[in-house]
Structure 1
């Protein structure tokens, strides 16, 4: 039999492609299946910030702290969305890091407070505590799985390379095999990058705790609702700043959407903010109806007439 390895070229290509597809499917699907297999968790979460992290990560933790501090009068929010510290230092480490970030005459925005809180030692301590409790992964738990996937791709890459060299030396057509080898190489590189990435994620136990807390918030279950689910902090922990009980404060706290800024020089259209150059006076309006408050500015090079910003 003069076929390489006793397998015809088309047969080898078919089995090789199937093997690559199977390993790729396992790499993509299995982590998602593992995350959805949440174990039942009926115990109590330590506090509202553990719940907030499970529901929305570090940003949700910062939002929850902002809500709690505003609710207690330790943060003040003006109509422009600037948050300033007031009163004494809170005792909770997360709240203290957010309170510190809002100090100063100008304070900070929700976006800046989120960024500072995410980099704080208090947030690192919270993540480490949740990892010890089995609510979050540290990234090392998934390493054996990703190592196995990487080894599988390396084996397939090696087999394909040997087949390519053998077939080419015997004058066999190897064009399609070359394309599959490129695919195998790309998948191997991706698997190597994924394996080296350290990512914090929710464990099945953490997902179960979050599901239980959400169910308890609707049924008034026994997961310390007075601590976790009562008040502004609990509402924000589960649903974000949009769930803050005061609509006016909620609107002031939610960071504005910032679309991609296109080429400059054009006039401001309805709903958009004016870019920096000449200042609008208080009460004047941009074209299309968006108002320029005192201190905001018109599009570059344009002047503020009686009708507002624009051409």
Structure 2
């Protein structure tokens, strides 16, 4: 009886592992194209935010920047209100457009809609073409493939437990089941270990070259003791997100 449970376990393990290897191979081929130097790409605060946290971090930085300069009001109740309707950049104009003609909207839906806006996606596409960011398709496919291997591992464990429950005592079926099920278990565990070492970088927004760019960014330990506190604060938000904010009310507004 346990043999019937072994077949789907082996099939799921083999299929998921092959999928992950295929995705990793394609990602390695894309990574083989030499990245352009950061100076040729133009790495600003928004590009740094994308490499550190993706589209969501870009949106958080834009909200903090505009709120700090008095162009938006971010309420801790979860509402964003336009104070100055003149956007100084494409991203600011896109943000004001997403808020709508009434000049006020909920912060959560605003962040989600702006993160998917073409203006924000263009930042990631430009960084990906330069070899600094992981292409969205590669990141999505790699994350899905890793999840499939994890699910296959869980399935193997459950089917092994079912096989042991069905094994007749004193017949050696339990030992045989453990021995045979060790094959898909070793395959999935080994593939996940390989993914942790070689594939995990492709689930990040920053490619290996982009990680080098992030390492060169400096976040001052004491923001108030820098020559340009605003620039230091915005750099910290770009690197680590709203946790870098010292204003508790602003942090609460971005948590809604």
Contact 1:242–1:250 (CA under 8 A) maintained in structure 2? no
Residues 267-306 of structure 1 mapped to structure 2, 5 A cutoff? none
1:48 paired with 2:45, answer yes
Larger Rg: 1
Contact 1:229–1:235 (CA under 8 A) maintained in structure 2? no
Contact 1:241–1:253 (CA under 8 A) maintained in structure 2? no
1:136 paired with 2:137, answer no
Could you tell me which runs of 5 or more consecutive residues in structure 1 were left unpaired when the two chains were aligned.
1-19, 151-172, 220-224, 257-311
1:67 paired with 2:68, answer no
Q: Distance in 2 between matches of 1:248 and 1:60?
A: 18
Who is 1:12 aligned against?
none
Q: How many residues align?
A: 186
Q: Distance in 2 between matches of 1:113 and 1:46?
A: 25
Who is 1:203 aligned against?
207
Who is 1:8 aligned against?
none
Change (3 A) 1:129 1:88: same
Q: Deviations over 1:74-130 (max 9, x none)?
A: 212335241112323424233222222223547233322221122111122111011
Who is 2:238 aligned against?
237
**Secondary structure in structure 1 of the residue aligned to 2:104:** coil
Larger helix share, 1 or 2: 2
Contact 1:67–1:232 (CA under 8 A) maintained in structure 2? no
Contact 2:46–2:58 (CA under 8 A) maintained in structure 1? yes
1:212 paired with 2:216, answer yes
**Secondary structure in structure 2 of the residue aligned to 1:68:** helix
The normalised TM-score by structure 1 is: 0.46
| 1:56 Cα deviation after fit | 1.8
Change (3 A) 1:186 1:251: closer
Who is 1:178 aligned against?
180
Greater relative CO, 1 or 2 (CA 8 Å, sep 6+): 2
